[in-house]
Copies of this chain bind each other. A is one copy, B any other.
Amino acid sequence: MSSETSRIEAFSDGVFAIAITLLILNVQVPPASASHLAAALTRQWPTYVAYLISFSFIGIMWVNHHRLFNHIRRSDNGLMFLNLLLLLGVSVVPFPTALIAAHYYAPGRTLAAAVFNGTYVIIAVFFNVLWRHIVRGGLLDSATQESAEAISRQYAVGPISYLICFALTWVSVPASLIMNIALAVFFAIPARMNAQKHAGRMPTATK
């Protein structure tokens, strides 16, 4: 991690941190005139589900971004701009999150869910494009370069999974949301298992 990449990371961390924290602004407080606050709070469960999915997605995205940049030894302009493209995707997330929350009970539910799930397809694609640029541009440190093929296969699962989730929207919106939650859990768990394998190498890399 050179000073060259460290400021890209600082900026990226900022965007991730802000996008993930802004999400809460979409969780509306029922008006004081609401006669049954408990009912009003319960009824907006899609808001909480959308919030949790988006928080998890951005959080996992950040964990992977963090891991990626730990293995980059130099930066180029392609990296800078593809990273900006990824950040564009991440900072858009509060909009589809608010959209599905507001339209879950409305006629536009399917479209809102499609925009929501579709955003994740696009971000997953952006992440893969960034990763491929890093691998092909030889921006990785040599140790990681060797295992790059394995990681590439792993990352390729993302866009395909979210594409299935996106298609599922037209079959059943609740099913697509459940699959979206399942994907968040899935991507969180294998990452953990991968890490155990990395554990022995990591300290060497950071020393």
* Chain A interface residues toward B at CB < 8 A: 1-4, 7-11, 13-25, 27, 29-38, 40-41, 55, 59, 62-63, 66, 69-70, 74, 76-78, 80-81, 84, 87-88, 91-95, 98-99, 102-103, 105-108, 111-112, 115, 188, 191-192, 195-196, 199, 202-203, 206
Interface of A is mostly: helix
Contacts of A2 in B (CB 8 A): 206
Oligomeric state, in number of copies? 4
Complex-state Cα separation, A84 to B29, whole angstroms: 24
CB–CB B17/A11 < 8 A: yes
Q: Which residues of B contact A111 (CB under 8 A)?
A: 37-38, 41
Q: Is the CB of A29 within 8 A of B102?
A: yes
Which residues of the partner chain B approach A80 to less than 8 Å between Cβ atoms?
63, 66
